[in-house]
Amino acid sequence: MSVADIQITEVGHDDHHDDHHDQGFVSKYIFSTDHKTIAKQFLITGIFWAIVGGGLSLIFRLQLGYPDMDLNWLRPIMGDWITAAGKLDTEFYLGLVTMHGTIMVFFVLTAGLSGTFSNFLIPLQIGARDMASGFLNMLSYWFFFLSSVVMFVSLFIETGPASSGWTVYPPLSALPQAMAGSGLGMTLWLISMALFIASTLLGGINYVTTVINLRTEGMTFTRLPLTIWAFFITAVIGILSFPVLLSCALLLIFDRSFGTSFYLSEIFIGGEALPNMGGSPILFQHLFWFLGHPEVYIVILPALGITSEIISTNSRKPIFGYKAMILSMLAIAFLSFIVWAHHMFVSGMNPFLGSIFTLLTLIIAVPSAVKAFNYITTLWRGNIVFTTGMLFSIGLVSFFISGGLTGLFLGNSALDINLHDTYFVVAHFHLVMGSAAFFGLLAGVYHWFPKMFGRMMDEKLGRLHFWLTFIGVYLVFFPLHYIGIAGFPRRYYSFTSFETFSGFADLNTFVTIAAVVTFAAQFIFLFNFFYSIFGGRKAPANPWKSNTLEWTTPRVPQHGNWPGAIPKVYRWAYDYSKPGAPDDFIPQTIPLSHTPESNLPHEGELAKEEGVESPKKEKDKVE
Amino acid sequence: MENTASIFGTGEARVRSMNARKFALWLFIISVTMVFASLTSAYIVKKSEGNWLIIEFPELFNITSVLIVISSISMHFSYLAARRDNLLNIRLGLVITGLLAIGFVVGQYFAWDKLVEQDVYFVGNPAGSFIYVFTGLHVLHLAGGLIFLFVVLFKAYTYKVHSRNLLSIEMCTTYWHFLGGLWLYLYIFLIANN
Ligand code: HEM
Ligand SMILES: [Cu+2]
């Protein structure tokens, strides 16, 4: 009880900081409440899932690229999912696609990305000892872990994992007799997602609370790095949209397990009418996409935040349009809640409604474009330092643009009649969301690895990894546009029986080869990552000459992050190459009154109000 | 606890100082609101598609509504007592609130009975299923509130709730008012859309 009795009135009294500097192994590495450890747990779990999710996609890519291949060599791992004739089981194909989508969207790019970087960077960049609640934070990870275990187990059960796509549309997902994967596999999917939602909400509530309440002195909202803004807005979107997925899933659970008819009506299976009457599968789509569309921004915004930070640092220039970046993120957050029906243009909706959603959808392209332009203008005439993190950030911008453009086509309700559910959509979201966010994740790892593990990753291997992956991604996903325009529907096991498609067989083979090579290139990263944790060159305190607060901590920050007092903040995070300044960067901890040579007129005024006594004394403190 | 302050240095006032727990509670309330907002929207969407039943709501809902409103008042009474260090009234208010809440839950249960008598079942036309989902989920959240209430009551009996230690009772009161408001919203929503 005593813990709960304490009122937090000052930062130093944060009650979850009963510090045990000699923590045992379990409380230090497993059930840790330290945000840095939790971030690493999210990262490692995310990497694990990325390997699994990527591996699954290779299996179905083999089927698509080489429909005649004898897959018996996969029998040792996949057992009876490879039929006696050496073919991939048709229903398991759908299971693979479903699991690939679920894993990538939720486990890798939501938990792996937000979980890692929100946890790691929020306290470090706002100047806090830890998250508002270390305990809830730990809980958030372990809910994710449980959810992962359940989802993983579902891959190995006899009836196969959920198979109705990552969007789990009923009636397919609601009726166990509809397909094998809609039995136990679907039940496990729902359990896993419920746990996942709990994890996301716990995490999100913590992130928002921390950003609002635990900023260090001087860290006003307009001095926050854009990473923090992005994580903050992402968390707010999550708090508003994941509960809706919960209600969506809840009604599905009732339909499946209790016999209600929220999503079901007038269905015949095997010539027999089901008793369910009065429900509507379209209702599910509305609820699902009310989360589903914000979810794509939950995935991309953190990646964009990371990119803002890395591009500005490595262009040695202030980010172009700081306020515009914040405003466009806020606009995206708002708009993302009112465009969901663009996923439902062909669900039989009123064409007038369709045109309204077309309009809203095209409006969201505006703030997205603002962000893209701001990245380019930041790069423009910068003193670019091509670190691996920077390369991946630039790659992200490239994918975000090339994938975003196709969104404009899809957003037209008339064009979408042709394009919906084809490989064109697959190409669109793999570029704009999948690859872009994945590159954001990698950029973040390369950039903050020195702070996470106190060592540097190898830059040569990093560059090799970048080029193989960057080219590979385009080789894999660009051809899918053509295949999509040619009319290939998504989620088909095989196209060999369609005469019209035979001309594209070679292209499909090509894509598969590119996918295998790109996947293989990721092992360069894995080697680099795990090797550098133990054998990397020791990192300097501020390897990228960056302004943000995390680089003022010791090489490997301990529990509590700063050994002494928390640094104060006197300026925004983007004073790079400021005219008049001796260095090309001025960390946020340097008071304006110490830099009279580079202060702008209004900063000169602010400097007088800082109340910093003798410049000399302050300087000792900073260093 | 106090010694940790010295290890982490002192005198670091933060930019804004709102109690982190209270803030987190508000975020939690927002996410619960989103669950119910989405369910009631689903109700409207479903209803507009037709194939719908008109249902007569049990009178009992009126009575339970009154109960939950009174429980909000007694909860607030208890909170005010805590501010004035009136230890006896804190407990009195909490106990009354708890009893009223239990009365509310029992009332909702009998209201379900009444629905069944009218042939409105959980399994059947969504018009009926939705009522069960709304009431059921609300009671589930109320159960969470009851546990919270018992924790505060326990604290009140161990002299840990008083004018300089208001956090727990303050948060409980906030959540309790939210639960009451939520029920009124659901009930009025159902009546208005029938
Ligand atoms: C320029 C702004 C964008 C527009 C106008 C746009 C438009 C669309 C439209 C209309 C669809 C539905 C196509 C169909 O199913 O027929 C779609 C699908 C999709 N979009 Fe976008 N999009 C944009 C940006 C994004 C971004 C930034 C992301 C993610 C970060 C994203 C992720 C997705 C995903 C995942 C799908 C497919 C979902 C599925 O059916 O499985 N989009 N987009
Ligand atoms: Cu969308």
- B30 contacts on A by Cβ (under 8 Å): 239-240
Residue A376 has pLDDT above 70, yes or no: yes
pLDDT digits (tens, 9 = 90+) for B76-104: 999 999 999 999 999 999 999 999 999 99
pLDDT computed for residue B12 by the predictor: 38
3-state secondary structure of A121: helix
- Cβ neighbors of A159 (< 8 A, separation 6 or more) are A180, A181, A183, A184, A185
What DSSP letter does each residue of A170-238 carry, written as one string?
TTTTT-TTT-GGGTHHHHHHHHHHHHHHHHHHHHHHHHHHHHHH-PPTT--GGGS-HHHHHHHHHHHHH
Residue A614 has pLDDT above 80, yes or no: no
pLDDT computed for residue A6 by the predictor: 33
pLDDT digits (tens, 9 = 90+) for A24-44: 777 778 889 999 999 999 999
pLDDT computed for residue A1 by the predictor: 29
What percentage of residues in chain A have a pLDDT greater than 90?
80
Candidates A390, A477, A384, A478; CA nearest to A442 is A390
- A206 contacts on B by Cβ (under 8 Å): 24
* Span of A111-125, A447-461, B42-56 with lowest mean pLDDT: B42-56
Task: Please tell me if residue A224 touches chain B, with a CB cutoff of 8 Å.
Answer: no
Which CATH fold would you assign to the domain A34-535?
Answer: Cytochrome C Oxidase; Chain A (1.20.210)
pLDDT computed for residue A8 by the predictor: 36
Q: Is the pTM of this model over 0.80?
A: yes
The answer to whether B12 contacts A290, with C-beta atoms less than 8 Å apart, is no
Determine whether domain B4-192 maps to CATH 1.20.120.80.
Answer: yes
Residue A439 has pLDDT above 90, yes or no: yes
Return the residue of B nearest to A290 by Cα. B38
Q: Tell me, in angstroms, the distance from the centre of ligand 2 to residue A292's CA.
A: 7
Cα–Cα distance, A529 to A511 (Å, whole number): 27
The answer to whether B12 contacts A9, with C-beta atoms less than 8 Å apart, is no
Name the pLDDT band for A23 (thresholds 50, 70, 90).
low
User: Under a CB-based contact definition with an 8 Å cutoff, are residues B37 and B67 in contact?
Assistant: no
A105 CA: nearest ligand 1 atom: 35
Give, using CA atoms, the residue closest to atom 6 of ligand 1. Answer: A407
pLDDT computed for residue B17 by the predictor: 58
* Span of A94-108, A516-530, B18-32 with lowest mean pLDDT: B18-32
The strand pairing partners of B165, in sequence order, are B162
User: Under a CB-based contact definition with an 8 Å cutoff, are residues A193 and A168 in contact?
Assistant: no
Residue A378 has pLDDT above 70, yes or no: yes
Nearest ligand, CA of residue A100?
Answer: 1
Of A420, A432, A481, A490, best ligand 1 pocket probe by most atoms within 8 Å of the beta carbon = A432
Describe the crossing of helices A505-535 and A35-65 by its angle, rounded to 10 degrees.
150
Average pLDDT, chain B: 89
Residue type, A164: S
Cα–Cα distance, A172 to B186 (Å, whole number): 31
Candidates B102, B101, B93; CA nearest to B152 is B93
pLDDT computed for residue A602 by the predictor: 87
pLDDT computed for residue B9 by the predictor: 30
Kindly report the length of chain B.
194
Domain boundaries, chain B: 4-192
Structure-token pair, residue A229: 């803004």
pLDDT computed for residue B151 by the predictor: 96
pLDDT digits (tens, 9 = 90+) for B7-52: 233 233 344 557 889 999 999 999 999 999 999 999 999 998 888 8
Query: Helices (DSSP H) in A69-131: which residue ranges?
Result: 75-78, 90-102, 116-126
Residue A531 has pLDDT above 90, yes or no: yes
Residue A622 has pLDDT above 50, yes or no: no
Residue A153 has pLDDT above 90, yes or no: yes
Name the pLDDT band for A79 (thresholds 50, 70, 90).
confident
In chain B the first and final C-alpha atoms are separated, in Å, by: 56
Shortest Cα distance from A140 to chain B (angstroms)? 14
Number of Cα atoms under 13 Å in the Cβ half of residue A402: 19
A422 CA: nearest ligand 1 atom: 16
* Span of A74-83, A161-170, A492-501, A605-614 with lowest mean pLDDT: A605-614
pLDDT computed for residue A10 by the predictor: 37
Task: Please tell me if residue B54 touches chain A, with a CB cutoff of 8 Å.
Answer: no
Name the pLDDT band for A604 (thresholds 50, 70, 90).
confident
Residues lining ligand 1, CB < 6 A?
A: A 167, 296, 299-300, 342-343, 361, 364-365, 368, 404, 407-408, 410-411, 416, 419-420, 425, 428-429, 432-433
Name the pLDDT band for A21 (thresholds 50, 70, 90).
low
